[in-house]
Amino acid sequence: MVENSNLRLEEYRRDAESCPGCRGCIWVDHIFCSGSKYSMRCPSLYHRKFDAYSCMGRNKIALGIMKGEVDFTPKTIEIIYQCNLCGACLAACKRNLDLDTDMTLETLRIRAVEKGAAPIPEHKAINDRIAESGNRYGLDNSKRGGWLPGTAKVSDKPEMVYFAGCNSSFRNKEIATASTGILDSLGASYALLDEERCCGNPLYESGDADAALEQAQQNIAALKATGASTVVTSCAECYKVWKVDYPKLLDRSTGEMEYKVLHITQVANKGIQDGSLKLEHPVNMRVAYHDSCKLTRCSDDWVPWHGERGKYGVTIPPKVWRRGINGVIMEPREILASIPGIELKEMIRNGMSTLCCGAGAGVAEAYPEYTENVANHRLDEAEDVGIEALVSSCPYCKDTFTKAAEQGSRPIKCFDITQVLNESIYGKGGL
Ligand code: SF4
Ligand code: SF4
């Protein structure tokens, strides 16, 4: 069992106790919200429409479990896992109170695994496949880098590693090739990991912290072997795992890690701003940008805290609070604004107030009807601002919206931002 008090439910007892049920974690900030149609920030509550399925409700369950008044029953397990761990409640709650709601939700899952009540079968199947094959799909991991074009300018002594992740390695390969296309155009010094394995996101979010730690150690060792000091991801889940969860599992701060993590949008935007990335081909399209929750609210640096609570809950030593405010929000918008021909519209829920696509934290695999419902609600919001395409920065968001759009025969197209960027760089007409 991972020995780290920051991963123990009791560490967040005061947080759960201090929740007065103000419902701030449920609604989008009022000043940004016009009308009630798109006013809810919690996808779980949107789907279930019962307060237990909100952060507020899960705080009560966490407290009940700590007090021995509530058990891990099939119903409490369903409530705990019908949540995207999307951070909407964290960012909202921190407007008023310093409650680490994200950690209460995460450690509740870790406790469920410790008690033998989880991982739930759908998550266990993924975790078993990762253990056996090194990827979430159970495919031959030696073919993981098969998407890499022969023309890619991979370096022998890379400064950065492009970590494609399971999804873009095996499913949305166009995102992986578009990402290396961007790095090539920038003249970046990059390589892939010799032995890339799943980042471990499904393991950690299912509550299996031990397996996630093992995965972290393997991937960090593989990175070290390359000599590179920067990890670049095009997947929002991988980004959060490398930046936040690996340090968390190792009980170190993000700043203490021997590597730096960047999302491809940060790398590309820097190139656009300094003139090294040329966007010469117009992409004539009216789009909205969907902020992935893991890229936006969930990826503030991790800083461990080991201390005591004094009078009125004062933290001794002072705790560095994560408020979900330092995410990658402006870079994708600056990129889209720089592409000739793109007309960028904003949805009501954007930036820190984004709505999760509905897939995250194993919900898509375990509760597909939840994901379908939330994805369709988000597509309604996108269509209401009159766009042709929804652009995102995570392969899971793209998968989720594409599936919902196809099932509903909606005219809206769904792209990853790397694809749109590649079109403007190379003009191959691939969209
Ligand atoms: S915003 Fe925070 S304090 Fe208010 S109900 Fe939600 S979790 Fe509780
Ligand atoms: S993490 Fe997201 S889905 Fe879960 S309770 Fe918070 S807002 Fe709702």
The pLDDT tens digits of the residues spanning 329-359 come to: 999 999 999 999 999 999 999 999 999 999 9
**pLDDT of amino acid 78:** 98
Mean pLDDT, residues 67-93 = 97
| Residue identifier of the C-alpha nearest atom 4 of ligand 1 | 22
Å from CA of 22 to ligand 1 middle: 5
Tell whether the model's pLDDT for residue 430 goes beyond 80. no
Give the tens place of pLDDT for each residue, 226-275: 999 999 999 999 999 999 999 999 999 999 999 999 999 999 999 999 99
CB of 44 closer than 6 angstroms to any ligand 2 atom: yes
Comparing 227 with 431, the larger pLDDT belongs to 227
Give the C-alpha distances (Å, rounded to integers) separating 22 from 59, 165, 392. Answer: 12, 38, 32
**pLDDT of amino acid 321:** 95
Ligand 2 atom closest to 85 (CA): 1
**pLDDT of amino acid 319:** 96
User: Mutate which of 12, 13, 14, 19 to test ligand 1's pocket (most atoms within 8 Å of Cβ)?
Assistant: 19
Mean pLDDT, residues 158-162 = 98
**pLDDT of amino acid 350:** 94
CA distance 224 to 268: 24
**CATH number 3.40.50.11810 given to 132-274:** yes
User: Mutate which of 56, 79, 86, 356 to test ligand 2's pocket (most atoms within 8 Å of Cβ)?
Assistant: 86
Residue whose C-alpha is closest to residue 214's, from 242, 244, 250: 250
| Residue identifier of the C-alpha nearest atom 8 of ligand 1 | 19
**pLDDT of amino acid 295:** 97
Question: Are the C-beta atoms of 22 and 365 separated by less than 8 Å?
Answer: no
**pLDDT of amino acid 428:** 85
- Average pLDDT score over the chain: 96
**pLDDT of amino acid 431:** 85
Å from CA of 262 to ligand 2 middle: 25
* Band of pLDDT at residue 159, cut at 50, 70 and 90: very high
**pLDDT of amino acid 96:** 86
**pLDDT of amino acid 165:** 97
| Range(s) of the chain covered by CATH 1.10.1060 | 1-118
Give the tens place of pLDDT for each residue, 385-417: 999 999 999 999 999 999 999 999 999 999 999
Ligand nearest to the CA of 93: 1
The β-bridge relationship of strands 315-316 and 308-309 is antiparallel
Can you spell out the DSSP letters for 337-404? HHSTTEEEE--SS-GGGPPP-S-TTTHHHH-HHHHHHHHHHHHHHHHHTT-SEEEESSHHHHHHHHHH
Å from CA of 51 to ligand 2 middle: 12
Question: Are the C-beta atoms of 241 and 204 separated by less than 8 Å?
Answer: yes
Mean pLDDT, residues 35-46 = 94
Of the ranges 26-40, 75-89, 197-211, 222-236, which one carries the lowest mean pLDDT score? 26-40
CB of 89 closer than 6 angstroms to any ligand 2 atom: yes
Give the tens place of pLDDT for each residue, 294-317: 999 999 999 999 999 999 889 999
Tell whether the model's pLDDT for residue 69 goes beyond 80. yes
Selected from 1.10.1060, 1.10.390, 1.25.40, 3.40.630, the CATH number assigned to the domain covering 1-118 reads 1.10.1060
| Range(s) of the chain covered by CATH 3.40.50.11810 | 132-274, 278-291+329-431
Tell whether the model's pLDDT for residue 162 goes beyond 80. yes
**pLDDT of amino acid 255:** 97
CB of 28 closer than 6 angstroms to any ligand 2 atom: no
Tell whether the model's pLDDT for residue 97 goes beyond 80. yes
| Residue identifier of the C-alpha nearest atom 1 of ligand 2 | 85
Class of domain 278-291+329-431: alpha beta
CA distance 167 to 147: 12
Tell whether the model's pLDDT for residue 2 goes beyond 80. no
Tell me the Ramachandran region of residue 117: left when phi exceeds 0, alpha when psi lies from -120 to 50, beta otherwise: alpha
CB of 25 closer than 6 angstroms to any ligand 1 atom: yes
Mean pLDDT, residues 2-9 = 91
| Residue identifier of the C-alpha nearest atom 2 of ligand 2 | 86
Give the C-alpha distances (Å, rounded to integers) separating 304 from 116, 214, 223, 240. Answer: 27, 19, 23, 16
**pLDDT of amino acid 347:** 95
Ligand 1 atom closest to 26 (CA): 6
CA distance 157 to 383: 46
| Residue identifier of the C-alpha nearest atom 2 of ligand 1 | 93
Å from CA of 18 to ligand 1 middle: 9
**pLDDT of amino acid 33:** 76
Tell whether the model's pLDDT for residue 32 goes beyond 80. no
Residue whose C-alpha is closest to residue 414's, from 260, 292, 254, 321: 292
Give the C-alpha distances (Å, rounded to integers) separating 238 from 68, 164, 168, 409. Answer: 35, 8, 11, 30
Ligand 2 atom closest to 54 (CA): 5
CB of 83 closer than 6 angstroms to any ligand 2 atom: yes
pLDDT above 90 covers what percent of the chain?
95
**pLDDT of amino acid 36:** 87
